[in-house]
Amino acid sequence: MDSTTKFEEFNSLYPIEISSGTLEALKWLAVISMTIDHFNRFFFQASIYSAYCAGRLAMPLFAFIFAYNLARPEAFERGIYTRVFKRLLFFGVLATPAYIAMRHLQHLWPLNIMFMLFIAAVLFFLFQKKSPLTISLAIFLFFLSGAFVEYSWQGLIFCLSCWFFCRNPSILALIACLFSYFLIDSLNGNHWALASLPLIILATQIELKIPRIPYFFYIYYPGHLTLFWLVSKLI
């Protein structure tokens, strides 16, 4: 056994498996976290710190679920990427006016999380092609797009590290995931994003029977932002 084989055996970890119902439970927790955060932003100008902290769980949960689903072997062959691209762009555009109002932005950027996930999905797609050209394009896109999306390069690194870990679990990929958590923490100004980690670990150990509602989470994002925006203008 050569040194490369020994390292691969040492580095490899068991693949993680999360049931569909348990993934839905994680999505609902992320939705609750996100809703609390956005309510705080629209109606209290983000002044309630406990609500801000609760909201830090949303992004890592959504990003992990997103990466986990697109890391499935069949995602590439079944053309799931194309459908995901279209949905993220469509609902990201719908959410843009309310998102700009919530963040009090003077420009279109940073674009909302739907666009960050769109860029992450494009990066997954390019890396999965494994050609020198697509890998070069992915690196170029990463450095260019990080300046224009919510959560910036830290968010893209988090998505990528989760995707690589879910595709090929290893000690190195796990270290990258943990490192990306601390990048998110530096962006948030606290460590509350780490609270999502035990929830993800727990999700691998339990199987919940929660039915999936197609497109709900795509629709909910622009829907709740627009509702909060309109109500905030009336009071």
pLDDT at 14: 77
Q: Determine the 3-state secondary structure of 12 from DSSP.
A: strand
pLDDT at 188: 96
What is the dihedral angle through the alpha carbons of 196, 126, 17, 34, rounded to the nearest 10 degrees?
A: 30
Average pLDDT estimate for 148-161: 97
Average pLDDT estimate for 167-187: 94
pLDDT at 211: 93
pLDDT band of 204, cuts 50, 70, 90: very high
Average pLDDT estimate for 117-133: 95
Predicted confidence (pLDDT) at residue 10 exceeds the cutoff of 60: no
Query: In b/e form, how buried is each residue of 201-230, taking b as 16+ CB within 10 angstroms?
Result: eebeeeeeeeeeeeeebbebbbebbbebbe
